Amino acid sequence: MAPSGSRSVDCWRVLYWIPVLFISLIVAWSYYAYVVQLCIDTIENMGEKIVYLLVYHVLFIMFVWTYWQTIFTKPMNPLKEFHLSHSDKELLEREDRRESQQEILRRIAKDLPIYTSTMSGAIRYCDHCLLLKPDRCHHCSACDMCILKMDHHCPWVNNCVGFANYKFFMLFLAYSLLYCLFITATDLQYFIQFWTNGLPDTQAKFHIMFLFFAASMFSVSLAFLFAYHCWLVCKNRSTLEAFRAPTFQHGPDKNGFSLGTSKNFRQVFGDEKKYWLLPVFSSLGDGCSFPTCLVNADPEQPSSPSGRNPSVKSAGESHQFPPKPLRDSQSRLLNNGQSEGSEDRDKRGTSNPALTIEKET
């Protein structure tokens, strides 16, 4: 028999699907109301009916496809190199002092592409997953795992939005907004006829009325949410980073990962334009390492707030890690800006200055 504790956890996980079920029922009703009640039973012009049905089904398919991808795309696990070995785990467990634990974590992290720390300057470590957190990675209590480039946990998709499905989430917002706007625009004239008694007194008139109210209200909320995430993509920030800036060696900096609008966009949607509008994974990188404007200067990006090279610190102030080469995923993105400048920009991002992690006070 399964322990009672595991059964209660399974019950809670079933409850997490209630928002998804609610959205699914709303979408199923909207399909019936628009296709059957509006297009088939109400609209008399055959040309108008065919055009509406064609456009509607294209938007409906893309909306459902992106929603499905956002829900069922599993978060990627951090690479093995970020996980502690068995000997390192035992060594860490034997140490009681936090300072000694940090020295062990610094030794392990010295060869990893980690450029952020906690607010106090400590190595970011997850006690639950027993790994060094890659940059932009956070532990989600709902998913009970570390999520690469975590944006937020969304109850409406019962999944974490992060590196693995952020593009799908953006497309889901875009197509759901277009879906609602299309319904609102095409249903408007029949909604007006409802109030002027221009529609026959059938059940279709009530579906048409509620369909307009639902689509218009969802359009407003989705427009604000989509605009906000477009701004985040252009700034190369996650929702978590917008509220709490990642901490680099010179201090917190919300623009630390921003490489300019075009490169920020390509980091999420990829280089090949044919995949931009399709819910097919095309994001650049591995989710564990990201190029930063603090390591590789970019003409599109202002200088760091400190006004100096962040890697320059006195020996008495910090521990300095050896230089680390950029990963292929980083160099590919940084060397990809052919249309934005001269060929000199292609030579950037080949090496990385030393990473400095400050001592805890």
pLDDT in tens, 209-223: 999 999 999 999 999
Burial, 279: exposed, middle or buried (Cβ in 10 Å; 0-12, 13-18, 19+)?
buried
Cα–Cα distance, 296 to 255 (Å, whole number): 13
**Per the residue annotation, which of 39, 129, 137, 154 is the catalytic one?**
154
Residue 211: count other Cβ atoms within 10 Å of its Cβ. Answer: 22
pLDDT recorded at residue 339: 44
Cα–Cα distance, 265 to 352 (Å, whole number): 23
Strand residues in 19-59 grouped as ranges (E):
none
- Is it the case that residue 4 has pLDDT exceeding 60? no
Contact 194, 209 (CB under 8 A): yes
Cα–Cα distance, 50 to 48 (Å, whole number): 6
Say which residue, 354 or 108, is predicted with more confidence.
108
pLDDT recorded at residue 332: 52
Question: What does 212-223 look like in DSSP terms, one character per residue?
Answer: HHHHHHHHHHHH
Cα–Cα distance, 237 to 246 (Å, whole number): 10
Cα–Cα distance, 41 to 75 (Å, whole number): 44
Contact 202, 171 (CB under 8 A): no
Using DSSP's 3-state secondary structure scheme, residue 247 falls into strand
Non-local CB neighbours of 207 within 8 Å, separated by 6+ positions: 32, 33, 37, 38
- Is it the case that residue 110 has pLDDT exceeding 60? yes
**pLDDT mean over 68-78:** 94
Angle (nearest 5°) at CA 335 between 329 and 339: 130
Q: How confident is the model at residue 335 (pLDDT cuts 50, 70, 90)?
A: low
Angle (nearest 5°) at CA 278 between 229 and 47: 105
Side chain identity at 354, as an amino acid letter? A
Contact 266, 126 (CB under 8 A): no
pLDDT recorded at residue 325: 43
- Is it the case that residue 357 has pLDDT exceeding 90? no
Say which residue, 9 or 168, is predicted with more confidence.
168
Q: Model-level pTM?
A: 0.81
Catalytic, 154? Answer yes
Q: pLDDT, tens digit, for every residue of 181-220?
A: 999 999 999 888 888 877 777 788 889 999 999 999 999 9
